Amino acid sequence: MSRFARLHSGPLRTWAPPESPFRIEYSPALLREIRNAGAGTDSYGLLYGIRHGQTIRLVATRGRAGLDPLGIFASRVRGQVFLSEEDLVRFDKAEACVALVLSSENGGFFVRDASGSIETVRSYEEFSIHGRPVVVIEKRRWPWALSLALLPLLCFIPRRPPPPIALSLREQTGQLRIALSAPAAETLTILDGAEKTSLALTGQSTITYVRRSGDVTVKIGVAQARFVGPTLPPTEMEQARASVEELKSQIETLNATRASGLAKIAALERRLQ
């Protein structure tokens, strides 16, 4: 009997969107275990299971014989399903294959694609934690009179406002990866040290920005994120410019010294005449 067969102890759910290189199997019991671990508060931890090729079966949040650490999880009481900067740090530190985020009533997995990149602002496929079935409404032909009577009522159905955009920052070799929880068509403001830059977004969800200082604040709408890190060393171009400015200063000093010497010589010649 294979390890997969021995670990099968109940109904399994599958997460395998077309964009994912992995097929992930998990159970409702695992989701309950993660939720119970937080006891009504945000919680974080590791996911243990087994891997067979591109299929990963997640079993528990605690290690035991026969299980390997394959992922991390973040369980949040409210908010959107996305990877925060702290989640990415834990993901890289654990060298995980998958990351599971549970937020409010929904969840989603995050994996790296073939190029090694990972989409942080949304999961390729979200799912309901409770696994509620999709309600299918049978299509019927309504009489024209009934349709016209219901039309005014449909116009007044309140629409739920979209959730606020969340920001996350990730720094790598002097570049900041700015990730939004949803594509936006707003103005993004970047305060890099004393320099301020405004970018008009046209539906992007990720932006790469080359920072110039060790203190960068990014704002969009009411969302704000800040990066504080070491100051970047000067580039070759900046070093060359500094050398040019130093040479100019030395030339000005020499010119001033020469002018002063010429004035003294002229004064001495006038006395000798």
Domain range annotation of the chain: 3-128, 167-228, 244-273
Expressed in percent and rounded to 5, the helix, strand and coil fractions of the chain are: 25, 35, 40
Q: Cα–Cα distance between 168 and 165 in angstroms, integer?
A: 10
- Predicted pLDDT at 134: 34
- Written as six digits, the tokens of 98 are 């998958």
- Out of 2.60.40, 3.40.140, 3.30.160, 3.30.1050, the CATH code matching 3-128 is 3.40.140
- Predicted pLDDT at 231: 80
Please write the tens of the pLDDT for every residue from 184-196: 778 889 998 888 9
Average pLDDT, the chain: 82
Least confident piece of the model among 96-110, 132-146, 217-231: 132-146
More confident residue, 14 or 241: 14
Neighbours of 159 (CB within 10 A): 5
Cα radius of gyration (the chain): 30
- Written as six digits, the tokens of 256 are 């001033």
Q: What stretches of the chain show up as alpha helix (H) in DSSP?
A: 3-7, 28-38, 85-93, 144-155, 236-272
Residue 88 burial class via C-beta count within 10 angstroms: exposed 0-12, middle 13-18, buried 19 and up: buried
pLDDT grade for 212, boundaries at 50, 70 and 90: confident
Q: Give the predicted TM-score (pTM) of the model.
A: 0.49
pLDDT grade for 111, boundaries at 50, 70 and 90: very high
pLDDT grade for 151, boundaries at 50, 70 and 90: low
Phi-psi region of 203 (alpha: psi -120 to 50; beta: other; left: phi over 0): left
Hey, what CATH topology would domain 167-228 get? Immunoglobulin-like (2.60.40)
Residue 90 pLDDT exceeds 60 = yes
